[in-house]
Every structure is written in structure tokens, then in C-alpha cells.
């Protein structure tokens, strides 16, 4: 039997159906969490439809973006089918059931590879889930994969990954920021609805700024760090990267709370953060004077000033505030962070897990000490080695008092300065980063210049405060370049995420910056 020749009408019908299907999936990967929840609840779409839309998006575009290190598509589809079956049978589902997500690859995921972007953990399979991931799994969120990062979260560009360079979806010749660059790029490129990142000195907020998405760093202790591969234990915090403010509130509510496995997690009450959007109270805002001094790009400065004017228009009370200790935040941060990292990374010795020179029968390994040295020398990258050396030096006898202890004292002064400011203001604002995304390779060989990318974010981690970066405009850094996003940073008092979300939502409702998508 021969196949029937396709008529013109058949062909037109097939092409039309293909277009409908294509448009259908395009609509799905552009959904926010709230929109997806509504469509899933109404049974307009299935979790399998939604998951397939994002898998297709990743397969089509991620070869150019390189946001993902590990893909978990088979597990994702299996999970989606289970959720659809439960929904049909009328079983109770979690609040994030069927929502596709991505997770930064320094957050442990049971039976799924977790590398921290480092060769020393290249084939490490986690034996348990991080608390945040377990919560999201229990709520039915679907993992699409693990995202790229600077090795052990040390970097501001995601160029320090041992495996690949992630590109900025707005311009693939530029960095996405770091260290959560993979997560931010994945959300910006609509390769997931939301992602988790970690923030030690700005690693959620800075890439959110560079990629034109929302990045929220909660108060230290608001979200469990259990299962997060540590960089600086007194600074690290997990948080959401999303397409809009409402989604950030939804994810934060899900992952916040006390965890018996993390003694630094807080008992502080977890609110329904979306309720803060209904508040009609006037917000008193302090503009941080030092964030507009020398070093900020003129176009970025103008964009932030335009955002401030918009906040004035909607009734916010705005006044300048000076935080002189900001000048010392960067050196204090790097002394403390590198000191903590040198201690945290001492566990990677090639014996219990991770890369081992001895297992590879290296000719250089003659004894146990050699095994330690060679495993670490071959397993760690440049930035991690630099960090360990800097931290070990600062903690060594004869230098501890001069460096580490002095930095710890200045950290206390920085905290006190913020607390004084919050006696007068509800929120503090300024730019998230002094520039837009820079070109790949532009700063990687100059660590000091790279460190300056975090100059506006590190003080917040030192103080342990919550802060959010939201899109507030676009600029062209060069005449023939693409337009690049600019982020506005909103800082709140301890455990006052409601206030920064309220202000962020107020601004977002008056603008449409979050609705712009990169052309990829």
C-alpha cells in the first residue's frame, strides 16, 4: 500500500496545527508561577505539557546559553505525569505542584550529581537533599536540572566554573553575573519558571541585575542552609530568582522557616508575603549616598535616578542617607569570606569523596601528604586556590589580630550603621551593580576589578539583611551593543522581607521592565 499524497489543504492544515502547537508551548514557557498555577488548577494545561515546553526550550536554546550543568528531563517528565494523575484523581497537591524549576549546583539533590562547579566534585552524587530542595519537591515543584556557577560560588561572572562559561541571554558575548549566573540566565531565557541561587556577597542579586530578572536574598537565617555547600558560613543564604515579584514572594514563603538541621535558621514567623502587596502605608526610603559616588557607570546612575523619581511619583517619602562604613565593606567582606572559605574547603582532601589524585594512580603521589596536595592542586581552580591562600594567611598566627579580628570588628560597625538608618527608614535603595553585564573575558584576569562588581551587595551580607534586585531599565553600554538590563536594589531591616516586597511590587506595577524578554 502506498501512502496517500498530501494535498494542499492537508498540508495547510498540518502547518496550521504545527503553528498552534508551537504557539501553545511558547505561551507555556512564558508563564509566571501564578499564571501556571491557575492554568494547572483549571486543567487548561497539564504538568506534562508545561514540563515539555521547558524541556523543548532548553534543548533549543541552552547550547547557546550554557545555563545547565546537569539535565534531569526523564525524572521531570515522570514527576509531571504523577502530578497529573493525582490531579485527575482529586488528590491534594502542594502549592508548587507541576511548576518546573532549576537549582544551583551547590545545593544538594539526592541521587543527582552536585558539583559546585568544581572538578574536585565532578562526579559527586549527594546522599540526601538540601532542606530547601526537599521542601520544593514535597510541594510538587519539578526539577529540570542543576545550573552552572562559579566554582564553590566564588566569583561574579560564572567564568570560574570548571566545566563551562554561561552566557547572558541579552548578549551572549557578555557574562550573566555570578556566582548564580546559571540560575539567573535560565530564568531570563525562559528555560524554567523559577530557580534557586545562593548569595554570599551578592551572588543572587548581581546576576539578577545583569540578566533582568528578580533576585531575592533573604535575611540570614530566614531560609535553611542545610545541604548548601558552604563558601562563607556566616554570609551564605539561599534565595529565589524569578520573573516577577509575586513569584519571588511565593517561593520565599515556601522555603522559609526553622530547620532542625540548621542551628542558624530562625524561628521568626513566616508571613504570607503576597499579602504585603495590599498595604497602603507610605514607605519611607533612604537613598544610600555612597552608592552614587565615583565608580558607578553614568547610564546606570541615570537609570536608577529615574527609578527613584518613579517611586516619588507613587507617593514614597524619599531622602538621602549616608552610610560611611560602606567604604570598608569590600575589604572586610573579602577578608572574612576568604577566611571562612579556607576552613570550609579544608574537607576536600581527596580521601572521603570527590577528586582523588591517589585513585588515578598519579606518579606524583608517593605518600598521604602528596595525595592531599596533588588532589587539591588538580581539583581546585585558580579563584578557589587564591581564596584559600588569602583566608589561610588572614587566619594564621601573627596575622589573625591584624586582619581577621579587625575585619570582624568593622563588620559590627557596619551592622550598627544599618540599624541606625532603619530607625528612620523602612527601606534603603541604590543600584545593585555599578555597571551592566561586562564582556566575557574582560575582568577574569584582574581579580580586584572583578571584586568591585559586588561593591553594592557585599555590605548587605555582612549585616545579614534582606535585599532584592528588580529590573528598572535598560541601557546600551556601547553604540552598537544590545540593550542590557539594570537592577534596582531594595534593602530591608531584619526579617522585614514584606516591606521590600511591598516596595518592589509597587514599583513593578508602575513599570513594565519585567515583561521584556531577550530575543533568543
Question: Which residues have CB under 8 Å from 333's CB, separation 6+?
Answer: 201, 235, 454, 458, 459, 461, 462
Q: Which three cell numbers stand for residue 27?
A: 505561551
Which H or E run includes 76? helix 73-88
Q: Omega of the bond prior to 179 within 30 degrees of 0, cis?
A: yes
Listed residue (282, 294, 230, 219) closest to 252, CA to CA: 219
User: Are the beta carbons of 504 and 516 closer than 8 angstroms?
Assistant: no
13 tagged catalytic: no
Number of other CB atoms surrounding residue 320 within 10 Å: 9
Give the list of residues 6+ apart from residue 489 with CB closer than 8 angstroms, or none. 205, 209, 429, 430, 431, 432, 456, 457, 467, 468, 469
> What contacts 24+ positions apart, CB below 8 Å, involve 401-404?
403/335, 404/335, 404/336, 404/339
Catalytic residue among 180, 203, 254, 453: 203
Which cell numbers hold the place of 243? 520573573
Contacts of 38-43 with C-beta under 8 Å, sequence gap 24+, read: 40/87, 40/97, 40/98, 43/87
- Of 239, 243, 196, 246, which is closest to residue 219 (Cα–Cα)? 239
Phi, psi of 109 (to 5 degrees): -135, 115
∠ CA(166), CA(167), CA(170), 5° rounding?
Answer: 150
Place of cell 539567573: 184
Tell me the CA distances in angstroms from 117 to 128, 178, 200, 384, 402, one per residue in order: 19, 12, 16, 11, 33
What's the gap between Cα 318 and its chain centre? 29
Residue 311 phi, psi (nearest 5)? -65, -35
- Distances in whole angstroms, Cα of residue 148 to Cα of each of 71, 115, 204, 441: 11, 9, 13, 17
Instruction: Using alpha carbons, select from 346, 490, 365 the residue that is nearest to residue 425.
Output: 490
Burial class (CB in 10 A: 0-12, 13-18, 19+), 73: middle
Q: Which of 46, 179, 356, 453 does the annotation list as catalytic? A: 179
Does residue 366 carry a catalytic annotation? Answer: no
Of 186, 489, 486, 178, the residue nearest 326 (C-alpha): 489
Name the active-site residue from 104, 146, 167, 243.
104
Distances (CA, A) of 264 to 105, 233, 464: 22, 10, 12
The catalytic residue positions are 104, 179, 203
Amino acid at each position: 500500500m502506498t501512502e496517500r499524497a498530501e494535498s494542499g489543504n492537508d498540508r495547510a492544515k498540518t502547518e496550521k496545527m504545527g503553528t498552534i502547537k508551537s504557539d501553545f508551548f511558547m505561551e507555556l514557557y512564558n508563564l509566571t508561577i501564578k499564571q501556571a498555577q491557575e492554568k494547572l488548577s483549571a486543567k487548561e494545561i497539564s504538568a506534562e505539557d508545561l514540563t515539555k515546553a521547558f524541556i523543548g526550550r532548553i534543548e533549543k536554546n541552552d547550547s547557546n546559553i550554557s545555563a545547565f550543568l546537569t539535565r534531569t528531563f526523564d525524572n521531570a517528565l515522570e514527576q509531571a505525569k504523577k502530578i497529573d494523575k493525582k490531579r485527575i484523581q482529586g488528590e491534594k497537591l502542594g502549592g508548587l505542584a507541576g511548576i518546573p524549576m532549576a537549582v544551583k549546583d551547590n545545593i544538594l539533590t539526592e541521587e543527582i550529581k552536585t558539583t559546585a562547579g568544581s572538578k574536585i566534585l565532578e562526579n559527586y552524587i549527594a546522599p540526601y537533599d538540601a532542606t530547601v530542595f526537599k521542601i520544593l519537591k514535597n510541594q510538587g515543584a519539578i526539577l529540570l536540572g542543576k545550573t552552572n556557577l562559579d566554582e564553590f560560588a566564588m566569583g561574579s561572572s560564572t567564568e570560574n566554573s570548571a566545566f563551562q562559561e554561561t552566557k547572558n541571554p541579552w548578549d551572549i558575548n557578555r557574562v550573566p553575573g555570578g556566582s548564580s549566573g546559571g540560575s539567573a540566565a535560565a530564568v531570563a531565557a525562559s528555560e524554567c519558571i523559577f530557580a534557586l541561587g545562593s548569595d554570599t556577597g551578592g551572588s543572587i542579586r548581581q546576576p539578577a541585575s545583569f540578566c533582568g530578572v528578580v533576585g531575592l536574598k533573604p535575611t540570614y537565617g530566614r531560609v535553611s542552609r542545610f545541604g548548601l555547600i558552604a563558601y562563607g558560613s556566616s554570609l551564605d543564604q539561599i534565595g529565589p530568582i524569578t520573573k516577577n515579584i509575586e513569584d519571588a514572594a511565593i517561593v520565599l514563603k515556601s522555603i522559609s522557616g526553622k530547620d532542625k538541621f540548621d542551628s542558624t535558621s530562625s524561628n521568626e514567623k513566616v508571613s504570607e508575603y503576597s499579602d504585603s502587596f495590599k498595604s497602603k502605608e507610605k514607605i519611607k526610603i533612604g537613598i544610600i549616598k555612597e552608592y552614587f559616588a565615583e565608580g558607578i557607570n553614568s547610564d546606570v546612575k541615570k537609570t536608577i535616578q529615574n527609578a527613584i523619581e518613579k517611586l516619588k511619583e507613587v507617593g514614597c517619602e524619599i531622602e538621602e542617607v549616608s552610610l560611611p562604613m560602606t567604604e570598608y565593606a569590600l575589604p572586610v567582606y573579602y577578608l572574612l569570606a576568604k577566611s571562612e572559605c579556607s576552613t570550609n574547603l579544608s574537607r576536600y582532601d581527596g580521601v572521603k569523596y570527590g577528586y582523588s589524585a591517589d585513585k588515578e594512580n598519579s606518579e606524583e603521589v608517593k605518600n598521604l601528604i602528596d595525595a592531599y596536595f596533588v588532589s587539591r592542586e588538580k581539583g581546585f581552580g585558580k579563584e578557589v586556590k587564591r581564596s584559600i591562600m588569602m583566608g589561610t594567611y588572614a587566619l594564621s598566627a601573627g596575622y589573625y589580630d591584624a586582619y581577621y579580628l579587625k575585619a570582624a570588628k568593622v563588620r559590627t560597625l557596619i551592622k550598627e550603621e544599618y540599624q541606625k538608618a532603619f530607625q528612620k527608614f523602612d527601606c534603603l535603595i541604590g543600584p545593585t551593580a555599578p555597571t551592566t553585564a561586562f564582556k566575557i573575558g574582560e575582568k577574569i584576569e584582574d581579580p580586584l576589578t572583578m571584586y568591585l562588581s559586588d561593591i553594592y551587595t557585599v555590605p548587605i551580607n555582612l549585616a545579614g539583611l534582606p535585599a532584592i534586585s528588580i529590573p528598572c531599565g535598560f541601557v546600551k553600554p556601547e553604540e552598537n551593543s544590545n540593550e542590557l538590563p539594570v537592577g534596582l536594589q531594595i534593602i530591608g531591616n531584619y526579617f522585614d522581607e514584606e516591606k521590600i516586597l511591598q516596595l518592589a511590587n509597587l514599583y513593578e506595577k508602575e513599570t513594565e521592565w519585567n515583561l521584556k524578554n531577550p530575543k533568543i
